[in-house]
Amino acid sequence: MANSRSRRRNIVLFILLAALLSAAFALHHWRYGQWRVETANAQVNGNLVRVAALTDGTVASLYVEQGEFVEAGATLLALADDDARALYQQAVASLAMASQEVAALAARAAAQRADIERHRALLTNIEREHQRHLSLAADGLIADEQLTASSSQLQQQRAALLSAQQQLVEIERRLGPSPQAEHPTLQQASAALRLAAYRLNKHQVRAPISGYIAKRTVNLGQLIEAGAPLLTLVDPSDRWVEANFKEDQLRHLRIGQPVEIYSDLYGRQQLFHGIVAGPALATGAQFALLPAQNATGNWVKILQRVPVRIEFIEPLESATPLPIGASLEVVVDTHSRAGERLQSIAAQRQNKHTAPQQSRYGGDVESVINATIEQYLGL
């Protein structure tokens, strides 16, 4: 009898405990659970910039090591450039010769103008003298031979002036109507120098962005081909989270919802904050090597996962770096469900991943061109 009462009491206590736990679970779900979507299938993502050479060659100098931070535009390695440097020096010499030719033409034009002025002055004197001879001949004071000689000298001087003017026209035609610095010969030589500088510059491999050397696959003395990846750069300021949610977890996800982010690297003691940036428009299975083919007779439904991009709100501190690929756990607060599901085109980030523009020619080729032209033309 006592055992029967004790059994009934235990059953009642168990039912009460179960009801209490169910009520607590229901209360928790009503107050918190229904507003939370979480997954441990999340990783840190970022842009891996693979750096390659623009030309074939042998690695002559190597300036960086794996894990080192480099600024955008810094030289990472250099290839042997003896042939390209010789062609560059040849192009510099060709520009100097072209500048000398244009300077010589300009000097000839100036000398020809002075010669024309001299011929004009001489013609004026001869014309005056010829007029005097005509007056004297009319009065019978000079012989006809003297008048004929005066007329012949006048014709010769006019012909000399005309010849000098024609030579000036030819020189000015070769100089052209443009300023001397824009002479076609100089433009051609300058273009050849820029091309030689560009080819020489291709032997310097520079960092397209500021970041850390995540991987280095090249060594000193190695023979490399153009386009082969040599180093991999990671931008520490450009990180995001790629969280793979199940299809039925996306129902209440909206852009801008706050996210709590925990990493396996630092545990629950370190909390990162983020916001939902938007889901991908394809499931992860679509990017597999062998995508699922559902139009078959033995089809089995499998719950798919959709990648969702989550942006960090605060910049990642150097004291708590998150390497790309690190595992994360994310918890999304879905209280606010009035936002958009997809990010509009106008809200897309613009030019975030644009690398700084480096000189295509390298060095100070424009300064070399200007200095060479100024040296000979005196501009």
Q: Is a pLDDT exceeding 80 seen at residue 33?
A: no
Map out the domains of the chain with their CATH numbers. 35-70+209-347 (2.40.30.170), 82-202+360-377 (no CATH)
Q: Is a pLDDT exceeding 60 seen at residue 349?
A: no
Q: What is the 3-state secondary structure (H, E, C) of the chain?
A: CHHHHHHHHHHHHHHHHHHHHHHHHHHHHHHCHHHEEEEEEEEEEEEEEEEECCCCEEEEEECCCCCCEECCCCEEEEECCHHHHHHHHHHHHHHHHHHHHHHHHHHHHHHHHHHHHHHHHHHHHHHHHHHHHHHHHHCCCCCHHHHHHHHHHHHHHHHHHHHHHHHHHHHHHHHCCCCHHHCHHHHHHHHHHHHHHHHHHCCEEECCCCEEEEEECCCCCCEECCCCEEEEEEEEEEEEEEEEEEHHHCCCCCCCCEEEEEECCCEEEEEEEEEEEEECCCCHHHHCCCCCCCCCCCCCCCCCEEEEEEEECCCCCCCCCCCCCCEEEEEEECCCCCCCCCCCHHHCCCCCCCCCCCCCCCCCHHHHHHHHHHHHHCC
Per-residue model confidence as pLDDT tens digits over 57-103: 999 999 999 999 999 999 999 999 999 999 999 999 999 999 999 88
- pTM for this model (two decimals): 0.70
CA dihedral 277, 279, 280, 281 (to 10 degrees): -130
Q: What is the mean pLDDT of residues 131-140?
A: 79
Q: Which amino acid is present at 264?
A: D
Q: What is the mean pLDDT of residues 20-47?
A: 75
Q: What is the pLDDT of residue 51?
A: 95
Lowest mean pLDDT among 112-116, 167-171, 361-365: 361-365
How many angstroms separate the Cα of 5 from the Cα of each of 13, 16, 17, 19, 316? 12, 16, 18, 21, 63
Q: What is the pLDDT of residue 346?
A: 47
Q: Which amino acid is present at 217?
A: T
Q: What is the mean pLDDT of the chain?
A: 84
Q: What is the mean pLDDT of residues 289-306?
A: 72
Distance CA 267, CA 11 (A): 41
Locate 284 and state its tokens.
């992860």
